[in-house]
Amino acid sequence: MKKLIITILAVFFFAQPVFAVPDITSIDGAVVDGESLVITGTGFGANALNIEWLGGASGNIATANGGSENDVFAASGWHVEADSPPAIRAPRYDDAQSHSHSMSIMAQRLDGSYFCDIYFDAAGFSAEEDYLYATWWTRYHIDTYLTTWQWKLWRWSNTTSATDNANLVMSSIYLDNEYFYVFCEDGNPSNANCYPEQDNSYRYAGVNFSQDKWYRVEVWWQENSAAAAEDAYMAYRVRSSSGLDVDGWGGKAFISRNTGITGDKRYFHLQNYLGNGITVAQAWVDDIYISDTQARVEICNANTYENATTCEIQPPAVWDAGGGSITVTLNKGSIANLTTGDYYLYVVDANGVASTGHQLIAESCALTGTITAATVESDIITGGKTIILTLTNDTWVATVGADNAITTALIAGVDSAQSEATGWDVEVKGNMVFGDVTRDSDTQVTILLGAEAAYDITASETITVTIPVEAVTSGTTYACSPTAAVAWEQDYTPPAEIATGSRGGGFSGGGAN
């Protein structure tokens, strides 16, 4: 009988005792691929950053390790079998298929080759390699096969060899259906002693992999504490565009090493064996992430983690030991636009518990104030109009409005589309001073326009305010909406008191033209 455990609890890989649920309070930084994003909150827990990450716009896979398409895969800490016809064909970088960016790693059965193994040595992660979290994207295509076929995806083993032994776990696809195999005392994958409840029907993963489709695979492994101890755990998740395909084995203890079996697993293989009936086939992997903890950051396309059909791993660069701050390098993966409001950021702790999703929304600025109320040329000459800038999903830095380069940069961004000699850029922006700028709150700034007697235009002007990177905590630049307009008044002559008036309030360094 097939046994499958479908879990709809928080993240729930192997959920160890839960202490504090992660909670995100804020995100600072540009929501842009490859940029740094700082996440603050509580309950994030610890992460020693023992991480292997080959994804991202500037990562090993996307850049073909500095080479080009069809080069043999190479990365520090990884081993790849050299070409050895007819059995072995080394995996290569390939631009015909990719989950993200423009490249993936392709294993290919061709001219009798079937062995395409690469493996990562996790010895440097910890003194004992008792824990493994690995995730990657994969797909396959079979051109021709006989009556049967087999695709061996991955294995976590105590040896560099991609052959069966008495101390490993692996998965294999046989005619679309996936199997888990745990070897805990001999080379027999059907040995019931190696499975939860001593029931080898747990070998059946319940995943029906279809070709020509990308799947996100996740593995969490906790080795048993000693030989014959029934306290090993494995959790396995596969996501595709149709949703959560499988979430199995979570919380079921079993024996991963039986009596007489010693030694730690330390080699993570992406085996990509293509054989047992296959004559021509390809398999691809992309965005490979390996760690010794479930603690991680992800961006998903649903406001609850378990309902997401697409999740992209976000590699951390800094993880505060106190569990209150994380810096990640943003990885958009296959997501075209992260700021549509459809995507949420999650922090998952070492227990496999996810935070509530934090919605990603693009920073924006609303331009209001009396400048928007049918402003004409004489209004600028008289002065007194206001420009109010209100931010959404961002905040002003504390020193906006002070006599500094930040205020000068903001003034420089209040720009006209026109360029008359006595127009806005020369007579208005050019005369603005820091005293005209007031930081009303974290999200609002008001600019008060002074009287500008020399303002004289021959055509209407369109004014756009662009927020400079140094003025906001996100460190991004964007334009405010809507624009403002100043209508031309033909043959307007200002009153004498305006024409001879003066203006004070200090000088911030000027407004750039």
Q: CB-hemisphere CA count at 13 Å for 511?
A: 24
pLDDT of residue 8: 27
- 209: which DSSP letter? P
In this predicted structure, the answer to whether residue 288 has a pLDDT above a threshold of 70 is yes
Phi, psi for 432 (deg, rounded to 5): -65, 145
Question: At 202, is the pLDDT very low, low, confident or very high (cuts 50, 70, 90)?
Answer: confident
Mean pLDDT on 46-57: 95
Mean pLDDT on 376-397: 94
Mean pLDDT on 412-419: 96
In this predicted structure, the answer to whether residue 101 has a pLDDT above a threshold of 90 is yes
pLDDT tens, residue by residue, 105-150: 999 887 666 778 899 999 878 655 689 999 999 999 988 877 788 8
Enter the pTM of the model.
0.78
In this predicted structure, the answer to whether residue 98 has a pLDDT above a threshold of 60 is yes
pLDDT of residue 506: 39
CA distance 118 to 155: 10
pLDDT tens, residue by residue, 477-501: 899 999 999 999 875 555 555 544 4
pLDDT of residue 113: 66
Mean pLDDT on 430-450: 97
Least confidently predicted of 30-34, 378-382, 487-491 = 487-491
In this predicted structure, the answer to whether residue 512 has a pLDDT above a threshold of 90 is no
Phi, psi for 504 (deg, rounded to 5): -120, -165
CA distance 509 to 504: 14
**Shortest CA distance to 324 belongs to which of 42, 35, 7, 30?**
42
Longest alpha-carbon distance in the chain: 102
pLDDT of residue 186: 92
Q: CB-hemisphere CA count at 13 Å for 442?
A: 6
Question: At 332, is the pLDDT very low, low, confident or very high (cuts 50, 70, 90)?
Answer: very high
pLDDT of residue 18: 45
Instruction: For the chain, give the percent of residues with pLDDT over 70.
Output: 88
**Tokens describing residue 33:** 């691929």
Please tell me whether the peptide bond between 86 and the residue prior to it is cis, using omega within 30 degrees of 0: yes
**DSSP β-ladder status, 478-479 and 484-486:** unpaired
Question: At 5, is the pLDDT very low, low, confident or very high (cuts 50, 70, 90)?
Answer: very low
**DSSP β-ladder status, 51-53 and 104-109:** unpaired
**Tokens describing residue 449:** 């326009």
Mean pLDDT on 37-53: 94
pLDDT tens, residue by residue, 441-469: 999 999 999 999 999 999 999 999 999 99
